[in-house]
């Protein structure tokens, strides 16, 4: 009898323990709080728009890339202004899309402005139309961007390929002659300095005379491809030698030759430029 009472007590205690354990696993009692959900990762974004120019009389489409870190901070960013932004030189992407991919792959902390209107390149990038187009860049587009985005005014980069590459050179010559640099870096890839060569040289001469030995605190990043039959090998090399012979104080000029095609020079040139200038 005593043995039976002991068995019944043992069974009752075991049942209670089982119920308590079951209650804990089935949500009874004090629940363990869930871990808070991780906030969504910041992502880059592209803003599309247009800008009407009183200087050229044209309206230009714009694509503006903002890196993932932009929206969550307060820092100012260098801005890369890409001429021919809507041109498909290296398909399937536009020049803007290809450059955006480079920036994202390298996690470069910079704003990219793709300037469309490549259908006007024969007017905007050749003299005399290049004069009005440069006014558009310096007096309309740059203030437009800097009024809307946290841009570092000390680091404005202008890049072009072929005709827009020589346009980047024209911008340097005009700003140097005026003694007021809008852009700090001029990235000229396979620039068409052989087109209107006399006029390009005249602009450079005017800059040289206007400076009169005063500093030219700018960076000129010249690139070309190595096949003289297809590439602007000689025109780019000639302009580079001309500038070196001037010994401009403060000007950092480099020239790099690639084993690519004329338009194939664009993406590797840009990749090298941002690697060196925006590490």
User: In tens digits, what is the pLDDT along the chain, a chain of 279 residues?
Assistant: 444 444 344 444 444 444 334 344 444 455 566 656 656 678 999 999 999 999 999 999 999 999 999 999 999 999 999 999 999 999 999 999 999 999 999 999 999 999 999 999 999 999 999 999 999 999 999 999 999 999 999 999 999 999 999 999 999 999 999 999 999 999 999 999 999 999 999 999 999 999 999 999 999 999 999 999 999 999 999 999 999 999 999 999 999 999 999 999 999 999 999 999 998
Report pLDDT for 5.
Answer: 46
The verdict on pTM exceeding 0.95 is: no
CATH number of 45-277: 3.40.50.1820
Report pLDDT for 27.
Answer: 46
Sign of CA pseudo-dihedral 265, 268, 270, 272: negative
Report pLDDT for 34.
Answer: 62
Report pLDDT for 30.
Answer: 55
């Amino acid at each position: 009898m005593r043995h039976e009472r002991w068995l019944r007590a043992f069974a009752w205690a075991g049942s209670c323990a089982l119920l308590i354990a079951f209650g804990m696993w089935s949500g009874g009692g004090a629940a363990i709080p869930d871990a808070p959900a991780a906030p969504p990762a910041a992502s880059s974004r592209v803003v599309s728009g247009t800008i009407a120019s009183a200087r050229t009389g044209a309206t230009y489409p714009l694509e503006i890339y903002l890196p993932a870190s932009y929206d969550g901070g307060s820092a100012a960013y260098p801005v890369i202004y890409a001429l021919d932004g809507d041109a498909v030189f290296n398909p399937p992407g536009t020049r803007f899309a290809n450059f955006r991919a480079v920036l994202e792959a390298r996690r470069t902390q910079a704003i990219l402005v793709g300037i469309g209107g490549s259908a006007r390149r024969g007017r905007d990038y050749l003299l005399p139309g290049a004069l009005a187009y440069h006014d558009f860049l310096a007096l309309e587009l740059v203030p437009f961007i800097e009024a809307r985005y946290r841009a570092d005014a000390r680091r404005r980069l202008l890049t072009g390929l072929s005709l827009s590459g020589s346009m980047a050179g024209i911008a340097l010559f005009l700003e140097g002659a005026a003694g007021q640099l809008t852009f700090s870096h001029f990235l000229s890839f396979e620039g068409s300095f052989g087109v209107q060569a006399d006029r390009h040289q005249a602009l450079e001469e005017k800059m040289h005379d206007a400076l009169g030995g005063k500093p030219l605190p700018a960076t000129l990043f010249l690139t070309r491809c190595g096949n003289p039959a297809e590439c602007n090998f000689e025109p780019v090399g000639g302009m580079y030698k001309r500038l070196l012979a001037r010994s401009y104080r403060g000007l950092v000029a480099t020239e790099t030759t690639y084993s690519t095609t004329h338009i194939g020079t664009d993406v590797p040139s840009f990749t090298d430029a941002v690697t060196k200038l925006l590490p």
